Amino acid sequence: MLLVDNQVIINAKPRYLVAGMGDSLAVLFEGRACLKNEARNSLGAKQPFFAVALSQYCFDMLIKYGEQAKAACETKVVTPALERIIEVNLMTAGIAFEGTGLAAAHAIHNGLTLIPEVHNYIHGEIVAFGVLCELFLSDAEPQEMDLVYDFCERVGLPTTLAQLGIANFNRDTVFAAAKMTVEDPYLPHEGKYITAEDVFAAIVSADAMGKARKAKA
């Protein structure tokens, strides 16, 4: 049984709801990678069809209602948009990810935790940046990248390394995080032949895109 008191959610910092959205954001992209690479899901099984459909549902709800849900949380009111996002964060995304599996976004999250400054950020915030890196790593369509960056910017999820506390970019440190990512058991779900150089390039590209969009805004 999953029991959620909406009053607890609206009385907590909106940052937690947003971080939850960052974690839920990963489900579609990691699930897609697992399917493409015939990786097994979190239970060691093949992806059930409904879990794949659920991961798309999670993404659609975030894009459609994420911003409204955050606003409701900030003003401490319960609205249908907030209820939809609470349901996605606490239930639907959980069922979806267990059914589909994890890949680069979580592997990059794990790699980035090598950098001490990142420890001040919540799991979902780091995962959201991992999703942006995963888009580069998987050569996603530019249109899709725009949609995901736009979502992150609208709800306030990090799109640059500076927003994860890494204000002064150090090539060696970030490369060490990329190396640790490659050793992560989830990374092969993204592809069998991904190197530390590939991951490093994805991290740097995701950060550059985040910065370029901010400069334009």
- The correct pick among 10, 21, 23, 125 for binding Zn ion (CB under 5 A) is 23
Q: Degrees (nearest 5) of the Cα angle 201, 207, 212?
A: 120
Question: CA–CA separation, 159 vs 154, rounded Å?
Answer: 11
Q: Distance (Å, rounded) from C-alpha 207 to C-alpha 204?
A: 5
For this structure, is 198 an active site residue?
no
Q: What is the number of other CB atoms lying within 10 angstroms of the CB of residue 191?
A: 16
* Site track for Zn ion across 44-63, x = CB under 5 A: --------------------
Catalytic annotation present for 119: no
* 184 binds Zn ion, rule: CB under 5 A: no
C-alpha distance from residue 207 to each of 2, 78, 98, 117, 146 (Å)? 37, 34, 29, 16, 14
Contact 66, 79 (CB under 8 A): no
Pure H helices in 39-182: 49-74, 80-87, 93-100, 104-112, 123-137, 142-155, 171-182
Between 72 and 125, CB nearer to Zn ion = 125
| Residue 207 interacts with Zn ion (CB under 5 A): yes or no | no
| Closer to Zn ion by Cβ: residue 58 or 72 | 58
Task: Supply the minimum distance, in Å, between the C-beta of residue 34 and Zn ion.
Answer: 14
Tokens representing 129?
A: 């940046």
User: Is 123 a residue of the active site?
Assistant: yes
Q: Does 134 bind Zn ion (CB under 5 A)?
A: no
Active site residue 106: yes
Nearer to Zn ion, 23 or 125 (CB): 23
Shortest distance (Å) from residue 166 CB to Zn ion = 20
190 binds Zn ion (CB under 5 A): no
Residues that bind Zn ion (CB under 5 A): 23
Residue positions annotated with a catalytic role: 23, 106, 109, 123
